[in-house]
């Protein structure tokens, strides 16, 4: 959901208002954070299979919404004019720029993940993971902690969505909000080891191979 939303926000700003990639990236991150905050208040009180079903419902709702929004191209989506890439030295240079920024974003995610895991906030999240009721008894405000974790985890995928679709030069709802994206991410995490910083990276590499 956040990957697709970020892509739409970024490409819309670039195509409709001539915004640069440097403006589109933080704008997409902010849009992802705002949506996560609003969704978090609504669905993070659910647990287990109920939470999983709710997130699937949100994904399908977003796909239906963007399919019916003419401002964002409806079912045909958004396509960038290749003249957009002239500001970056041409399409090839823009492709390498997107690649470099994706690497930088990956490194930033690893750093944030590590700092979160070793912080007091991260300890609270681990307590929630092990036993949410016990965490509440020990003083962790679980709805608030889960909401902010959700917000934090939404910013980077939204920015990655901009880079991915900027590189592709086009996007449409059925491509942006694929349920298979979410399933693939879970597979990568489980392959590499959940609850670790480098596990998802190793799992992603193994999955791609």
Q: What is the pLDDT of residues 169-196, one digit of tens each?
A: 999 999 999 988 888 988 999 999 988 9
pLDDT of residue 163: 97
* Residue 27, C-beta contacts closer than 8 angstroms, at least 6 positions apart: 9, 10, 13, 19
Q: Is the pTM here over 0.85, yes or no?
A: yes
pLDDT of residue 10: 96
Average pLDDT, the chain: 93
* pLDDT beyond 80 at 48: no
Question: Tell me, what DSSP letter sits at residue 149?
Answer: H
* pLDDT beyond 90 at 52: no
Q: How confident is the model at residue 142 (pLDDT cuts 50, 70, 90)?
A: confident
């Amino acid at each position: 959901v956040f990957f697709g939303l970020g892509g739409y926000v970024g490409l819309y700003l670039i195509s409709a208002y001539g915004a640069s990639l440097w403006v589109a990236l933080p704008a997409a991150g902010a849009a992802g954070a705002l949506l996560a905050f609003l969704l978090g208040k609504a669905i993070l009180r659910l647990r287990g299979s109920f939470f999983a079903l709710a997130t699937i419902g949100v994904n399908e709702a977003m796909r239906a919404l963007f399919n019916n929004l003419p401002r964002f191209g409806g079912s045909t989506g958004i396509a960038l004019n290749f003249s957009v890439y002239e500001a970056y030295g041409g399409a090839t240079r823009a492709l390498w720029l997107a690649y470099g920024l994706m690497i930088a974003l990956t490194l930033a995610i690893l750093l944030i993940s590590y700092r979160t895991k070793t912080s007091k906030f991260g300890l609270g999240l681990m307590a929630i993971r092990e036993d949410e009721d016990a965490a509440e008894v020990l003083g962790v405000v679980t709805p608030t902690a889960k909401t902010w974790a959700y917000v934090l985890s939404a910013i980077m995928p939204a920015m990655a969505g901009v880079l991915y679709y900027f590189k592709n030069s086009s996007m449409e709802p059925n491509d942006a909000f694929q349920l298979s994206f979410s399933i693939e991410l879970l597979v990568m995490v489980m392959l590499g080891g959940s609850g670790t910083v480098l596990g998802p990276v190793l799992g992603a590499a193994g999955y791609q191979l």
